[in-house]
Amino acid sequence: MVTADQGNHCNPPRFDIDIGCPIGHPMSIATLRDSILTLGVRSDATTGYDPYYDTPRPPSPPGDYVEAYFPHSGGNWPTFFGKKFAADFTGPADPHWAFKVGCTLGSGLLVLAWDNSSISALPEAYHIFMRDSAAGININLRSQNFYSFQYSGTRGFSIWTEFDAVYIPVSPRWNIVSVPRITADSSKSVIFPTSTSEAFAYDGKYTSKNKLENGTGYWLKFGYQQSVLIAGTSLTHLSVPLATGWNLIGTIDRPVPAPSGGVLASEFFGYEGSYQRADTLKPGEGYWVKASFGGFLILDASQATEEKYVRFPDLQEISSFTITDEHNSREVLYLAERQSIPRNSACELPPLPPCGSFDARFSSQKYLEAYDAGAEITGFTVLLQAEYYPLKITADVKDPLVIMTISSTDDKSITDSKVLGRGSDIIVSNHTEKLSIKIIPKTKLIRAFKLEQNYPNPFNPSTLIGYQLPERAFIKIRITDVLGREISSIASGIQDAGYHAITIEGETLKLQSGVYFCTLEAMGIDTRLRYSDTKKIIYIK
């Protein structure tokens, strides 16, 4: 007999199995039977002895008999009733059992039988197998209800479970998912019952779908972080049709390297709070890819992917800035000198995600833009789609010959241009849809001495103050209080022409809350020009 309940999508179901062992002997006049062997899974059971579940086998009866039992000793297994047990229950993590069958009769046809009608109550993904160790035969307990063999001595068997399904991790936001197995019911409400939105496919525009197909990617929203179980027939090979332009595709039930070449005109992009380039297509996730013309994409777990990659720039050596929202969704955008980028680089991002999702991109729809060396000023526009503020902008400027500035007419916190890559994050406090990025060559920018206002101001614990030198100069920077008393000289010496910045640490200088002044004094080495300027800074302890 098998009894079972469904459990849930994250834990194996509880079940128990009773295996009867009738044996008939051609010369006998009676039938020997044993039907007390029981195994099962319980959430509170262990791999050792559980007094509430595991029971010893009664002593063998007089005369001829057949018996099946779990041999246990050691650990916390009691032996005062012997080492044979009739019931063995274990926990849901990797459940498995070993039992033996013995008989006082020397030989005969022995039949192990079980009622598998209730196994169908278990999720389709769960399979229970039994192995005859002597014959090397595996038996699927779901697909048959008996196993017979010629008995010639005590025989060992093992039983274990296999989980034949795919878990898809999803986040509490919009996700791109797919159906990586062949399911009995393709309804969105059955496959993704906990989703909180319609399923949207893409065919030049987003279209709501009630029936989900293999090979297609779908936008779906979930209310909390979870893993969705998808059971069904294995899908290890798939031919995915591609239309000219962007395609939202699904995957098979095995990870495969992202293909390239042929009709493909872009990288593959997944979505993890923002678009991310993907080198592996994971089961159950969906991906964007662009095709230069119609064709088919073959996904096959058994075939090696050809090494024909589209030439993409080495992003590790390129200046970048990262935009992060309050929920830690982020997008990295890149700026590079044009000659450092291969001419055939494809840097286009997929179509915008649904409203409410985070996205940041250049107005060209790319994640990488190029500027010309020696140009006066090059400007770019960044388009934002964000729901959760504030946004944080962090830059990593690799080109020592340029300065990058950022501004926004929509957000009062960065109305004035701020320099990127000076060590401090730039905060976008209010809703904005556009940012302006400018690339300014240092040789074009610095025509005079200048001391900038510190940022942030007021500050705690630190602030950054920038200054520019049009030539090599002797400089001194000092901090004074409102009475003109010098608190500290924070920089002095000869520095090269260019843009410089220094951090002021309130705790290091032992500042009290109040107003202070930062003064830059400079004298050009060649021109002997003198310069002095002072900025008011405010420290809040």
Q: Per-residue pLDDT for 24 more than 50? A: no
- Grade residue 399 by pLDDT with cuts at 50, 70 and 90: confident
> Residue 184's pLDDT is what?
80
Q: Which residue has the higher pLDDT, 328 or 419?
A: 328
Q: Per-residue pLDDT for 383 more than 60? A: yes
Mean pLDDT (whole number) for 51-56: 93
- Grade residue 142 by pLDDT with cuts at 50, 70 and 90: confident
> Residue 323's pLDDT is what?
95
- C-beta of residue 440 within 8 angstroms of C-beta of residue 402: yes
Q: Per-residue pLDDT for 11 more than 60? A: no
Q: Where are the domains of the chain?
A: 2-163, 166-300, 315-445, 450-539
Q: Per-residue pLDDT for 5 more than 60? A: no
Q: What is the DSSP letter of 432?
A: -
> Residue 21's pLDDT is what?
42
Least confident of 31-35, 140-144, 196-200, 323-327: 31-35
- Grade residue 146 by pLDDT with cuts at 50, 70 and 90: confident
Mean pLDDT (whole number) for 230-234: 81
In 372-511 the beta strands, taken as DSSP E runs, fall at 378-385, 391-396, 402-407, 418-419, 426-428, 434-441, 450-451, 462-469, 473-480, 486-495, 498-505
Q: Per-residue pLDDT for 241 more than 70? A: yes
User: What are the residues whose beta carbons fall under 8 Å from the beta carbon of 55, sequence distance 6 or more?
Assistant: 85, 86, 87
Mean pLDDT (whole number) for 171-181: 95
Please state, in angstroms and rounded to a whole number, the distance separating the CA atoms of residues 49 and 73: 10
User: What are the residues whose beta carbons fall under 8 Å from the beta carbon of 278, sequence distance 6 or more?
Assistant: 258, 267, 268, 269, 270, 287
- Grade residue 423 by pLDDT with cuts at 50, 70 and 90: low
Least confident of 128-132, 349-353, 516-520: 128-132
Sequence-separated contacts (24+) of 418-423 with Cβ below 8 Å: 418/455, 419/466, 419/499, 420/321, 420/393, 420/395, 421/319, 421/321, 421/395, 421/396, 421/397, 422/464, 422/466, 422/501, 423/464, 423/501, 423/503
- Grade residue 107 by pLDDT with cuts at 50, 70 and 90: confident
Q: Per-residue pLDDT for 476 more than 90? A: yes
Q: Per-residue pLDDT for 23 more than 50? A: no
> Residue 30's pLDDT is what?
35
- C-beta of residue 176 within 8 angstroms of C-beta of residue 219: yes
Q: Per-residue pLDDT for 414 more than 60? A: no
Percent of the chain with pLDDT over 90: 49
Q: Interior CA angle at 166 toward 173 and 88, to 5°?
A: 120
> Residue 118's pLDDT is what?
66
Q: Per-residue pLDDT for 7 more than 50? A: no
Q: Which residue has the higher pLDDT, 444 or 298?
A: 298
Q: Per-residue pLDDT for 244 more than 90? A: yes
Q: Per-residue pLDDT for 311 more than 70? A: no
Closest by alpha carbon to 465, among 428, 499, 508? 499
Average pLDDT value for the chain: 84
> Residue 417's pLDDT is what?
56
pLDDT tens digits, one per residue of 495-508 = 887 778 888 999 99
450-539 topology per CATH: Immunoglobulin-like (2.60.40)
**Left (φ > 0), alpha (ψ -120 to 50) or beta: where does 122 sit?**
beta
Count CA atoms within 13 Å of residue 143 on its CB side. Answer: 7
Q: Which range in 6-15, 187-196, 403-412 is most confidently predicted, on average pLDDT? A: 187-196
- Look at strands 295-300 and 275-278 and give their pairing: unpaired
Please state, in angstroms and rounded to a whole number, the distance separating the CA atoms of residues 466 and 464: 7
> Residue 121's pLDDT is what?
72
